[in-house]
Amino acid sequence: MALDTIQTLLHSESARNGITARGWVRTKRDSKSCSFLEISDGSCFKGLQVVVDAALPTAELLPRILTGASVEVVGDLVASPAAGQKWEMQAAELCLLGEADATYPLQKKGHTPEFLRTIAHLRPRTNLFGSVFRVRSKMAYAVHRFFQERGFFYVHTPIITSSDCEGAGEMFQVTTLKPNTPTKPEQDFFGRPTYLTVSGQLQGEAFACALGNIYTFGPTFRAENSNTTRHAAEFWMIEPEMAFYDLTADMTLAEEHVRYLVQAMFDECPDELEFFNKFIDKGLIDRLKQTLAKPFERISYTDAVDILLKSGRNFEHPVVWGDSLQTEHERYLAEEHVKGPVTIFNYPKDIKPFYMRQNDDGKTAAAMDLLVPGIGEIVGGSQREERLDVLEALMSKQGLDPENYSWYADLRRYGSVPHAGYGLGFERLLMFVTGVPNIRDVIPFARTPGHAAY
């Protein structure tokens, strides 16, 4: 019963008579004896050229068929004499499903991304956003495939939570209490204050300590008032967590994962990749090829600090052992020093959250960040502290209420195992594989301070 899509028609093995094509008109060109419609149904990057003979009875509809109109065409799929396309369609009957008049905002001329964000419900009909969101879908599926092929289990960690993971950032409150009304937390839906999750990691660890290898892939939230090209209030995170993995196995998996996704981009989205490389980021294909060319380098944080200090660069933020690496440092390491992806590991323990495993040197934690050119950090992870006494000391040092984390401590109290995991920001990944520079343009309906339309 499946209808033919333009994707299936363009990949036809042979000419076919009596087919039906449906889609939206991208362009219309008239010649003396016929008109050429390019129609797209979003199923693939390319459109289908439809030739409408002026003598056709239904050709009288043509004046009403403008850019954006939807049509259904019955006719034959025939070899195309035009360059760059194998097939075109010779129309026998044309049906106008829905008109689009001159007020249709997506006329042929180019539009700024800023304007297109104001019509987020229509922008996926453009070449750029159609491509972005096809890639988003293919990459999401590739994420699942990567893990499922390796025997990992997908876990839906909760979105509404009463714990705040790691104090990772400002949280949104979730409530059914009326604003501006005297209320008590006990009266709220869950009988206590609840928030939108900032990470599924802690709950993911509980499942890794039962099912072995698991991953989450779901929305996470930050109520930070940041108006940058890299921050959104709602974004999707991938968080695998592996029992019996140490930091080295963790880094290896993260590197395989990023390479797998880049390879999927080449294999499954070649037309979109070419388009992005031509119109959005001319260095894109080269940079992605670099990612596949050789194993990623690994540099300890301490060595990375040395490299930065010896670089002779005048960084805006000074380089000091014990401080976090800033984006400018990360980009120097990936783009100039290594000229490709690089994993930095063993960070100073005092800048890392309580759950990261303490190394024997007394100074560092078994943490890692994977940095890629053009983006900086794309993956952050660590081996988790599996020793109950060490964990409890760290929680107490960071002022956490042991009561709130007693279930998390239970994972160490009963059959504790070495384990590790990481987080991969899905939008960061999409920006990396498409070259699209603003996170607002890789999310269907982006949420940023002041913006929650739709």
Please choose, out of 108-116, 166-174, 258-266, 325-333, the segment that lies near a copy of itself by the rule CB under 8 A: 166-174
Among 173, 226, 396, 398, binds a copy of itself (CB under 8 A): 173
Q: Token pair for residue 311? A: 């670089």
Among 155, 254, 269, 366, binds a copy of itself (CB under 8 A): 155
Q: Which are the contacts of 68, defined by CB distance < 8 A and separation ≥ 6? A: 24, 25, 100, 104, 106, 125
Among 156, 278, 289, 339, binds a copy of itself (CB under 8 A): 156
d(CA 43, CA 239): 30
276 binds a copy of itself (CB under 8 A): no
Could you give the dihedral angle defined by the CA atoms of residues 327, 330, 332 and 333, in that order, rounded to the nearest 10 degrees?
180
Question: x/- contact string, 366-395, with a copy of itself (CB under 8 A)?
Answer: --------------------x---------
d(CA 146, CA 434): 20
Identity of the amino acid at 372: V
Task: For the CB of residue 148, give the shortest distance to a copy of itself in the complex, in Å.
Answer: 5
Q: Token pair for residue 254? A: 């993260």
Please choose, out of 209-217, 310-318, 325-333, 351-359, the segment that lies near a copy of itself by the rule CB under 8 A: 209-217
- Cβ distance to a copy of itself smaller for residue 156 or 397: 156
Give the footprint of a copy of itself on residues 49-78 (CB under 8 A).
68-70, 72
Sign of the Cα pseudo-torsion (30, 33, 37, 38, in order): negative
Please choose, out of 94-102, 318-326, 342-350, 395-403, the segment that lies near a copy of itself by the rule CB under 8 A: 94-102
Residues 333, 335, 337: CA angle, nearest 5 degrees: 45
Give the footprint of a copy of itself on residues 286-305 (CB under 8 A).
none
Look up residue 335 and give its DSSP letter. Answer: I
- Cβ distance to a copy of itself smaller for residue 333 or 436: 436
How many of the chain's residues bind a copy of itself (CB under 8 A)?
117
167 binds a copy of itself (CB under 8 A): no
Could you give the dihedral angle defined by the CA atoms of residues 312, 317, 321 and 324, in that order, rounded to the nearest 10 degrees?
-130
- The answer to whether 370 touches 327, Cβ cutoff 8 Å, is no
Please choose, out of 283-291, 340-348, 354-362, 409-417, the segment that lies near a copy of itself by the rule CB under 8 A: 409-417
Among 19, 59, 111, 190, binds a copy of itself (CB under 8 A): 190
219 binds a copy of itself (CB under 8 A): yes
438 binds a copy of itself (CB under 8 A): no
d(CA 200, CA 203): 6
Task: For the CB of residue 50, give the shortest distance to a copy of itself in the complex, in Å.
Answer: 15
CA 298 to chain centroid, in Å, comes to: 24
- Cβ distance to a copy of itself smaller for residue 74 or 309: 74
Task: For the CB of residue 319, give the shortest distance to a copy of itself in the complex, in Å.
Answer: 32
Please choose, out of 137-145, 283-291, 313-321, 353-361, the segment that lies near a copy of itself by the rule CB under 8 A: 137-145
Task: For the CB of residue 349, give the shortest distance to a copy of itself in the complex, in Å.
Answer: 22
Please choose, out of 38-46, 280-288, 312-320, 364-372, the segment that lies near a copy of itself by the rule CB under 8 A: 38-46
102 binds a copy of itself (CB under 8 A): no
285 binds a copy of itself (CB under 8 A): no
321 binds a copy of itself (CB under 8 A): no
Residues 60, 62, 67: CA angle, nearest 5 degrees: 165
Q: Which are the contacts of 382, defined by CB distance < 8 A and separation ≥ 6? A: 247, 250, 352, 355, 356, 357, 365, 366, 367, 368, 420, 421, 422
Q: What are phi and psi of 87, to 5 degrees?
A: -120, 150
Question: x/- contact string, 107-136, with a copy of itself (CB under 8 A)?
Answer: ------------xxxx-xx---xx--xx-x
Task: For the CB of residue 108, give the shortest distance to a copy of itself in the complex, in Å.
Answer: 14
Q: Which are the contacts of 341, defined by CB distance < 8 A and separation ≥ 6? A: 255, 258, 290, 291, 296, 297, 334, 370, 371, 372, 373
E strand residue ranges, 246-360: 297-300, 342-348
Task: For the CB of residue 267, give the shortest distance to a copy of itself in the complex, in Å.
Answer: 14
266 binds a copy of itself (CB under 8 A): no
